[in-house]
Amino acid sequence: MSHKIRIIILSILLILIFLFFYKVLLSEKTYQPRSMIGKSVPEFSMENFKDINRRITNQDFSTKEIVVLNFWASWCVPCRIEHPMLNELKKKYKLFLVGINYKDNASNAKKFLNELGDPFDAIGSDSKGEVAIHFGAYGIPETYVIKKNKIVFRHIGPLNQDVVKAIVALK
Amino acid sequence: MIGTFGNSSLIIALLLNFYLLFSYSLNFFKKKNNFQKVRYLNFLVTVFVFLAFILLLWSFAISDFSNTAVYQNSHSQKPLFYKISGSWGNHEGSMVLFILILAIFSSLFSFSGVRDNLKYLTIFFQNILILFFLIFLIFTSNPFDVIRPTPAEGLGLNPILQDPLLSIHPPFLYVGYVGFSIIFSFALAGLYLEEFTKLWSKQASLWIVIAWTFLTVGIGLGSIWAYYELGWGGFWFWDPVENASLVPWLASTALLHSNITSMKTEKFFSWTALLAILTFTTSLLGTFLVRSGILNSVHAFANDPDRGLYILAVIMIISFFAFLIFILKFPKSPMPNVLIFWSRGSFILINNCFMIFFLVVVMVGTLYPIFLDALFEKSISVGPNYYNALLAPFVIVLLWFMAHGPLLEWYKFNKQSLIKAILQISFLTLVSSIIIFFYLKDFSLLLFLGVFFSIYLIIAVIIDVFKQKIISKNLARNISHFGFGILVFSIFINAYLSKEINVPIKVGQTIKQNAIEIQFKNILKSQGKNFEEIIGNFLIKDGTRAFELSPSLRKYLQPVQVTSETSIKSTLFGDYYLAINLSEFEGDKIMIRFYHKPLMLWIWISISLIIFGGLIRIFRKQNES
Amino acid sequence: MIKKVLFILFFSLLATKFSFGNDELKNKIYKNLRCIVCQGQNVYESNSDFAVDLKKLVEKKLSNGETEQQIYDYLTSRYGEWIVMTPKLNASNAMLWVIPVGIFLIGLIIISKIIRKSKINS
């Protein structure tokens, strides 16, 4: 091999390494998981927050065209911040909202809803955090949009106006 | 005020560095051999960088919060020792240390017995490195940036980093990492002047061992810290930052050995040169990976994509020119690059092959997840199981080659003596292994092979020592290899036979599992200089042995953070290790983690032996010259 | 020869199975799961809400008689391959083993050439 070819190979190799690390450096650091998108709603059955005599399951709203499912708790500070956005989704855009009350105390949760409003059409209690894991959730707050029984969108962390727009656009 | 002085000394150092490069180039093109000026300028650069470093230490020591780096990383209520060590615990300060070590090695090298032309070309290359990093320091991470108005109090240092071992381990790691720069510069100079010969290998060997020894000390101290501070009973987590320090260690271990082959046989100079370049470029790559924050790691350093981009560009430029010189001035060995299989040289090459394999495993394991994520949006985790399963069988085979390499000659092969050695060592090893497994009462194939071959190496070294006419001959190698044998032995026993107990326990309660009894006696409160502490006193019984362990929880006030402090009882046969879980309280019970870690002390002893071998080599060499 | 030895070593490694007590198996699984909301920690080492929930779930699944692999499969379907700390042996991960072993073999070939040349020379 002549020197020229070796130098060309060296240059190409270094440029590739540079481009690779350059892309990594500039890529988004906030991790947005892709694993649950496109999958059917996982089956679940949990205590009904509003009516202790009945349970809540994924069958209850399988006929709905579009469902917004939100994990929340009264002890979670960002949930307080995003709550007005949930109210807006209900009142302004008339979406069907399911709340999942995550590892919470029932009376605190009721107080929370009395104070900030109750946008949810149904609420289930996930007292052990198992349903959250079943949905592949990272923590709360976290929001899923279900269309025809398929998860089409998810957002980790508190909702903001951009996310609200994105959810409404899915209608 | 201090900031102005600090800034000025950095800028003066940069100007002197420019002048040095200019002055050398002038000399070079006029083909003059008057290097006095370069020599003095080189010292002056070192002096001014040193001055800047001292001024930074001073700012930290007196808690001068008008300095951004001090404000962000220190606090007036911190003990003085941690104030000072905090100066290199952050990005800006550690870069000053980085440049200081580059400069000190450059100055030290000017005292070496290397021929003037070669010596000053080395110093010229070294000053190009200093130039790149000084510019980086002054323009992207200036340690003397000023905040106005001056804050009354600093933000503090992460309490987990307030630890004597962790405070002193970065300087050792850095002397190691950066120490390879002088070998890198020396190799490029040797290549360029076509003096990459036996003499080069001889003169380089001391510098290689110095940097290698420091790096080993740095890694060793880091793992001792991880062992008692992180509280999971482990000493090596295959964390990306640990991996970043392991890669240059593997490359330099290969270099150390191939350089000996080149020196003794006058062969494989191109390979030695390549390793010299590779060792420093992997050190730089490690720095880049840690600083740019592209790795998910427990060690969180300040992340800044601009800085990352600059270091990346510098690494690429440095590597390009280094490999360019390597290609254009490809060193030819005076002797043909051939070996007989049963010779020490070929065994050293096989050792190199293993080292490169380990290096690639660590690199691929660290970088492949980033690669998949960046290019295919797929996230995977590469954890300890991957490394352990892939490395363990290869380490076992390497042990055999390590045992026999030093027993072979460079050129001659005596079949009878090899067979005799194999039989002798195998017999002694088998007897010792049977005795050991009789006591362990535990068996698995991989554990057996690990134990067998590490004892094989230990016995081979002992036989080798007795064969020497004078004990001190090859003592450095024998001690290091002996240490490595004990290290692998202890790691295998430790990995397979560690026991752990995780239980909730309340005051007054006693828990029994197998031979171990844990009694929770009482809780005490105490007050440290910058933390409050709750100490749990436990009585541990293991058979006839009884002793107390007192793990604690500490609440640091600045910044507010709770840490769990372990309590460890070390014995020759194993450590008893107790820690309290930070959360997971169940009523009046607390969760404790108890570990029995066999031969833990021997892991530290064996690393010390490896380091001791390096030290013997350094001081013996100095006596000779 | 060496290839054969390596082959045997690899498979003896895979064949070495341990009998884990329930606690040991539990801890082994915890240590092999990434706490995805933490920086570089596994579930065993983390005290975050997420890790605590996951520990409880693993415990429940084990007492329901599920195997280690079933638990990994379940969690992988929820959180992706990332959550299991040991990479799966599949096509896209193959490079993790192919690159190092490949380079090792290239090294051995080069050394064997150096040695063969010496036979011709002598």
Domain boundaries, chain C: 21-86, 91-122
Tell me which residue of B261, B507, B398 sits closest to C9, measured CA to CA: B398
State the Cα–Cα distance between residues A164 and B592, nearest whole angstrom.
45
Contacts of A141 in chain C (CB under 8 A): none
DSSP β-ladder status, B545-549 and B531-542: antiparallel
pLDDT score at A32: 61
State the Cα–Cα distance between residues A94 and A166, nearest whole angstrom.
15
pLDDT score at A28: 60
Question: pLDDT at residue B135 above 80?
Answer: yes
pLDDT score at B173: 92
State the Cα–Cα distance between residues B493 and B436, nearest whole angstrom.
11
pLDDT score at B623: 46
Q: Which residues, in sequence order, are bridge partners of residue B97?
A: none
Segment B136-146 mean pLDDT? 90
Does A23 contact B294 at a Cβ distance shorter than 8 Å? no
Q: What is the largest CA-CA distance in chain A?
A: 83
pLDDT score at B89: 83
Does C77 contact A35 at a Cβ distance shorter than 8 Å? yes
State the Cα–Cα distance between residues B110 and B44, nearest whole angstrom.
13
Does C117 contact B338 at a Cβ distance shorter than 8 Å? yes
Q: Would you call C9 helix, strand, or coil by DSSP?
A: helix
Segment B298-303 mean pLDDT? 45
Q: Residues 2..61 of A with a Cβ closer than 8 Å to B: which? A: 3, 6-7, 10-11, 14, 17-18, 20-27, 29, 31, 34
State the Cα–Cα distance between residues B526 and B522, nearest whole angstrom.
13
DSSP state of B304: -
What subunits make at least 3 CB pairs under 8 angstroms with A? B, C
pLDDT score at B583: 66
State the Cα–Cα distance between residues B2 and B58, nearest whole angstrom.
8
Does C39 contact B365 at a Cβ distance shorter than 8 Å? no
DSSP β-ladder status, A66-72 and B510-513: unpaired
Using 50, 70 and 90 to split pLDDT, how confident is the model at A58?
Answer: confident
B179: exposed, middle or buried (C-beta count within 10 Å: 0-12, 13-18, 19+)?
buried
Nearest CB among C39, C103, C118 relative to B340 is that of C118
pLDDT score at B379: 84
Does C87 contact B352 at a Cβ distance shorter than 8 Å? no
pLDDT score at B218: 95
At B473-519, the pLDDT tens digits run 788 999 999 999 999 999 999 999 999 998 889 888 999 988 899 99
The shortest C-alpha distance from C114 to chain B (Å) reads 5
Nearest CB among B350, B352, B393 relative to C10 is that of B393
Phi/psi of residue A39, nearest 5 degrees: -90, 160
Segment B17-38 mean pLDDT? 90
pLDDT score at B515: 85
Mean pLDDT check: name the lowest of A9-13, A59-63, A76-80, A85-89: A59-63
What subunits make at least 3 CB pairs under 8 angstroms with C? A, B
Does C80 contact B296 at a Cβ distance shorter than 8 Å? no
Contacts of A103 in chain C (CB under 8 A): 49, 53
pLDDT score at C11: 46
At B150-178, the pLDDT tens digits run 888 888 767 777 788 888 888 999 999 99
Mean pLDDT check: name the lowest of B261-265, C36-40, C99-103: C36-40
Sheet holding B574-580, edge to edge: B499-505, B590-598, B574-580, B567-570
What subunits make at least 3 CB pairs under 8 angstroms with B? A, C
Beta-carbon-side half-sphere exposure of residue B345 (alpha carbons within 13 Å)? 25
pLDDT score at B359: 97
Give yes or no for a contact between B27 and B38, defined as CB atoms under 8 angstroms apart.
Answer: yes
Highest mean pLDDT among A149-153, B21-25, B371-375: B21-25
Q: Which two tokens stand for residue C92?
A: 């896209």
Question: pLDDT at residue B303 above 80?
Answer: no
Does A139 contact C49 at a Cβ distance shorter than 8 Å? yes
pLDDT score at C82: 87
Give the CATH architecture of domain C21-86.
Answer: Orthogonal Bundle (1.10)
Tell me which residue of B611, B511, B613, B622 sits closest to B214, measured CA to CA: B611
Mean pLDDT check: name the lowest of A33-37, A74-78, B311-315: A33-37
Q: Please give the mean pLDDT across all residues of chain B.
A: 90
pLDDT score at B466: 87
pLDDT score at B219: 95
The shortest C-alpha distance from C13 to chain B (Å) reads 6
The shortest C-alpha distance from C15 to chain A (Å) reads 32
Q: Which two tokens stand for residue B126?
A: 């070294």
Segment C12-41 mean pLDDT? 71
State the Cα–Cα distance between residues B584 and B579, nearest whole angstrom.
13
pLDDT score at B607: 97
A41 to chain C: closest CA residue: C78
DSSP letters spanning B348-397:
HHHHHHHHHHHHHHHHHHHHHHHHHHHHH-------HHHHHHHHHHHHHH
Using 50, 70 and 90 to split pLDDT, how confident is the model at B576?
Answer: very high
Contacts of A17 in chain B (CB under 8 A): 316
Question: pLDDT at residue B299 above 60?
Answer: no
Contacts of B583 in chain C (CB under 8 A): 47, 52
Contacts of A23 in chain B (CB under 8 A): 374-375
pLDDT score at B367: 92
Segment B463-472 mean pLDDT? 82
pLDDT score at B300: 42
State the Cα–Cα distance between residues C82 and C97, nearest whole angstrom.
18
pLDDT score at C30: 92
Segment B200-225 mean pLDDT? 95
Question: pLDDT at residue B372 above 60?
Answer: yes
Question: pLDDT at residue B129 above 80?
Answer: yes
pTM above 0.90, yes or no: yes
Nearest CB among A36, A103, A128 relative to C78 is that of A36
Highest mean pLDDT among A101-105, A152-156, B587-591, C99-103: C99-103
Contacts of B288 in chain A (CB under 8 A): 21
Show Cβ contacts of residue B319 under 8 Å, excluding neighbours closer than 6 positions: A14, B277, B281
Interface test with C, best of B250, B265, B338, B382 (most C CBs within 10 A): B338
Interface test with B, best of A25, A32, A103 (most B CBs within 10 A): A25
Give yes or no for a contact between B365 and B433, defined as CB atoms under 8 angstroms apart.
Answer: no
Contacts of C115 in chain B (CB under 8 A): 338-341, 346
Interface test with A, best of C35, C72, C79, C82 (most A CBs within 10 A): C79
Nearest CB among A14, A29, A34 relative to B320 is that of A14
Percent of chain B with pLDDT over 90: 63
Neighbours of B533 (CB within 10 A): 16
Does B320 contact A11 at a Cβ distance shorter than 8 Å? yes
Segment A2-13 mean pLDDT? 92
pLDDT score at B445: 92
DSSP state of B481: H
Q: Please give the mean pLDDT across all residues of chain A.
A: 87
Contacts of A3 in chain B (CB under 8 A): 327-328
Question: pLDDT at residue B207 above 60?
Answer: yes
The shortest C-alpha distance from B583 to chain C (Å) reads 6
At B229-257, the pLDDT tens digits run 888 888 999 988 899 999 999 999 999 99
Q: What is the ipTM metric for this complex?
A: 0.91
Nearest CB among B327, B371, B377 relative to A10 is that of B327
- Sequence-separated contacts (24+) of B512-520 with Cβ below 8 Å: B515/B542, B515/B543, B516/B540, B516/B541, B516/B542, B516/B594, B516/B596, B517/B541, B517/B542, B518/B578, B518/B592, B518/B594, B520/B592
Using 50, 70 and 90 to split pLDDT, how confident is the model at B624?
Answer: very low
Interface test with A, best of C33, C38, C53 (most A CBs within 10 A): C53
Question: pLDDT at residue B192 above 60?
Answer: yes
Question: pLDDT at residue A170 above 70?
Answer: yes
State the Cα–Cα distance between residues C43 and C50, nearest whole angstrom.
8
Mean pLDDT check: name the lowest of A128-142, B373-387, B450-464, C3-17: C3-17
Beta-carbon-side half-sphere exposure of residue C98 (alpha carbons within 13 Å)? 8
Find the length of chain C: 122
Give the CATH architecture of domain A45-169.
Answer: 3-Layer(aba) Sandwich (3.40)
The shortest C-alpha distance from C6 to chain A (Å) reads 31
At A28-56, the pLDDT tens digits run 655 566 678 888 888 888 888 887 788 88
Segment B303-318 mean pLDDT? 84
The shortest C-alpha distance from A119 to chain C (Å) reads 26
